[in-house]
Amino acid sequence: MPLPCTVSSSLKKGFTLIELIAVIAIIGILAAIIIPSVGKVRENAQRAKSASNIRSIAQAYATFSSSGGRVRIIPATVASVQDWAGYLAEEVDLNDASLYYIESDPNVAALVSLPLVVGSVSGSEFAVGSEFQATTPSYAVVAGLAANAPSTTTPLIFTRGLHASGEWDVTAPWGKSGGHIGFLDGHVKFYKDISSNGGELVNYSSKSRTSDISTAISPGAVILNNE
């Protein structure tokens, strides 16, 4: 009786060099696709958060300016963004210091920690905290605005680093990609720059288009940017 024929098969174990190279190449391609997308999603999320923070600050300013039965302003004599923020912290309890920072801002990224509050009451007076004073907020603000300034076209707060040309500096929180501007009525818009179409802003006096934000605010008002 013939013996049954036995066939021995050797199973491959592991990957061949070509297969390993193919897998590495696929991983590299996927990483090239996914990593920039993740970075873009993170940046968009930070921009949305920044817009929300600016809106909260603008709304607090509106509450401050209209309370007490008369229109109030933060005076042009205020020396810094921090002191400007101190007005809102004292008058309408907007004391959350984190609202004034953007995570991607190089000045913020270099800090070991961020202040929690703008300031506190010392004795009978409100004082801006030394920790908040020692940092550079991510926004520039406008003080001394006219009480009757048009709310829809008058800038109140904007991403730090905006030049008179309408472009943001490379050292701005979003670099030359652009920045936000928050207006007196509380609406916020992101601009790559504000020089297109003859200027994205409205000149306060002539009502013509302008790319220089300093001409979009009322005479006597000042921009505080801590730069």
Q: Is residue 148 within 8 Å of 224, Cβ to Cβ? A: no
Q: Is residue 187 within 8 Å of 152, Cβ to Cβ? A: yes
Flag residues of the chain having pLDDT under 50.
7-9, 11
What local confidence, expressed as pLDDT, does residue 17 receive?
A: 77
What local confidence, expressed as pLDDT, does residue 22 receive?
A: 81
What local confidence, expressed as pLDDT, does residue 14 receive?
A: 64
User: Taking the domains of the chain in order of start, what are their residue ranges?
Assistant: 18-224
What local confidence, expressed as pLDDT, does residue 4 receive?
A: 55
First and final CA of the chain: distance in angstroms?
Answer: 100
What local confidence, expressed as pLDDT, does residue 39 receive?
A: 62
Contacts of 201 (CB under 8 A, 6+ apart): 153, 155, 181, 194, 209, 210, 211, 212, 213, 215, 216
Helix 81-92 with 17-66: angle, nearest 10 deg: 60
Contacts of 137 (CB under 8 A, 6+ apart): 81, 82, 85, 100, 101, 160, 226
Please indicate, yes or no, whether the overall pTM of this predicted structure exceeds 0.85. Answer: no
| Range list of H helices, 67-95 | 81-92
